[in-house]
């Protein structure tokens, strides 16, 4: 039987992805422990914001801060607002996306996503800076020389753009997004931020129909 896929389209610097993390972890763990359905979970970086060396305008900083506050109220997610005081924010998530892809090559994709999220939202670090991403790689005890090479390589940058294109082609234009694929047919699943079981029920129904 052809293996179905569940695409998780995300950005490591997306605040809603950070808010969704506990629910997504429950979904993924439930799927991992139910191997009978042979469902492959595939992470796709969506590329929220392109490379940008310009400081983020104050209006945008205030807007993003309001998103954090909304997520905090809605989901109880923790944010460290010292980020805005301690950094020069830039609207640039591509570096963090590249770091996730580099870590994927080194067998540490999920660990890097978590490190970026915790660094950004809890430690007030700026993952738009390569120096911060390299610091996180060091903390994860990755091969830092290889990580640096990957992060700066044209091949990895092309991989990023190809992955973003794939995410867009299946409808992944907002983050987080979930897509179930079987025999070339892709169905978007509703993201339930507080209800892992509802998503799991929908996935089970789709898997049962497949069989």
- The predicted-structure confidence for 78-115, as pLDDT tens digits, reads as follows 999 999 999 999 999 999 999 999 999 999 999 999 99
For residues 92 and 152, give the distance between their C-alpha atoms in angstroms, rounded to a whole number. 16
Pick from 63, 3, 84, 70: nearest CA to 38: 3
Task: Indicate the pairing of strand 177-182 with strand 4-10.
Answer: antiparallel
Whether the pLDDT of residue 201 is over 80: the answer is: yes
**Strand, coil or helix: what is 205?**
helix
pLDDT for res 180:
97
CB 44 within 8 A of CB 81: no
For residue 16, which of 179, 166, 193, 148 has the smallest C-alpha distance?
193
Query: Please, what CATH class does the domain formed by 4-208 belong to?
Result: alpha beta
CB 94 within 8 A of CB 127: no
Domains in the chain: boundaries: 4-208
Q: Which residue, chain included where needed, has tokens 């950094």?
A: 87
**Sheet bearing 4-10, strands edge to edge:** 39-45, 4-10, 177-182, 185-189
Cis peptide before 24 (omega within 30 of 0): no
pTM: 0.97
pLDDT in tens, 121-172: 999 999 999 999 999 999 999 999 999 999 999 999 999 999 999 999 999 9
Q: Which residues pair with 181 in a beta bridge?
A: 5, 186
Going from the C-alpha of 104 to that of each of 42, 52, 152, 207, the distances in angstroms are: 12, 24, 15, 27
Q: Is 114 helix (H, G, I), strand (E, B) or coil?
A: helix
**Residue 6 β-bridge partners:** 41, 180
> What is the reported pLDDT for 9?
98
């Amino acid at each position: 039987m052809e293996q179905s896929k569940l695409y998780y389209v995300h950005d490591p610097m997306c605040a809603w992805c950070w808010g969704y993390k506990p629910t997504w972890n429950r979904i993924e763990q439930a799927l991992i422990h139910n191997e009978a359905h042979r469902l492959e979970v595939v992470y796709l970086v969506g590329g929220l914001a392109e490379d940008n060396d310009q400081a983020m305008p104050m209006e945008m900083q205030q807007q993003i801060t309001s998103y954090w506050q909304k997520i905090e109220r809605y989901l109880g997610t923790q944010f460290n607002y010292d980020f805005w005081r301690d950094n020069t924010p830039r609207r640039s998530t591509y570096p963090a996306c590249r770091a996730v892809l580099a870590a994927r090559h080194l067998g540490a994709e999920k660990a890097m996503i978590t490190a970026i999220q915790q660094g950004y939202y809890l430690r007030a670090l700026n993952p738009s800076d390569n120096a911060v991403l390299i610091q996180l790689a060091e903390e994860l005890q990755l091969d830092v020389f290889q990580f640096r090479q990957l992060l700066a390589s044209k091949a990895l940058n092309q991989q990023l753009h190809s992955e973003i294109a794939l995410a867009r082609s299946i409808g992944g234009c907002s983050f987080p997004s979930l897509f179930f694929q079987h025999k070339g047919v892709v169905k978007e699943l509703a993201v339930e931020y507080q209800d892992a079981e509802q998503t799991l029920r929908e996935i089970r129904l789709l898997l049962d129909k497949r069989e």
